[in-house]
Structure 1
Amino acid sequence: MIEDRNHNPKLLIGIAGGLIAVIAIFLAYQWFIASNVENSPTYETELTTPAQVKAKPAEAVPLAEAEPTQKLIEEDILQAPVPENASIAKEEIAKLDDIQLQLAEQENTLKAQHADADQLLKLKEEQIKLLEAQLAQTH
């Protein structure tokens, strides 16, 4: 009986200390993850034309905030002189190919979003008709 009384406070302190250690580790982990997310670099691709190489790069606009009349590429790219150095010309061609791929991907995404919106509209119309029919039956 006397041994149980002597060991109980130690057991209670050990359990409390273990719980505090687990909570401290959890909070440190959350803090570490949050600081990594804030410090992690965001990867944004910058598209430049020959005319923009010497100019400051434009800031990236998220797709959701982009205006529908926004120019995706500059019109003066067609009149830009072709570089005489073959490696620079290949880089420019690679950049233009990347732009073309991004535009194609964006077009496919927008078409998919448009199809999804049309399907949602049809489903909402059906839901409204069903709700109107249920309302008509209850009255």
Structure 2
Amino acid sequence: MRVSRLPQPSTAAPSEWVEGAAWVDEIATPEGQSRFRVDSVHFAPGARTAWHSHPFGQVLYVTQGAGLVQSRGGEVHSIRAGDSVRIAPGEWHWHGASPTTFMTHLAIQEVADDGTEAERGAPVTESEYTADTAAPPLR
């Protein structure tokens, strides 16, 4: 057993992955035979990821605030504290804060044997992000 003490230093999310300001706190990293990674990601209002996919999928659990999530070709959905989002392996998607509210979520994914966590695509444009400001809740 290994006990880690939080808080560890927050790191700014890389600008090639995120539009706007976001910070990442590592909760768990792959170790030994485990391939699971868990991060707490805190998005400023208007911040969002680029389009991306994960080889084994991803689970998001919103811990604070309100945000948006979209799969390629699907509707933009509102998410808020307490919501959980399951993203299928290889599914292209983006997620981030709402235009006016901070949002924090846990991002949980399995890392491939070669260390790959995600494949990054194009940035989410302003028109994609604001496509539906009255996004339906995810249910």
Which bin holds the TM-score, normalised by the shorter protein?
A: under 0.3
* Higher share of residues assigned helix: 1
Q: Rg: which structure is higher?
A: 1
Which structure dedicates a bigger proportion of its chain to strand? 2
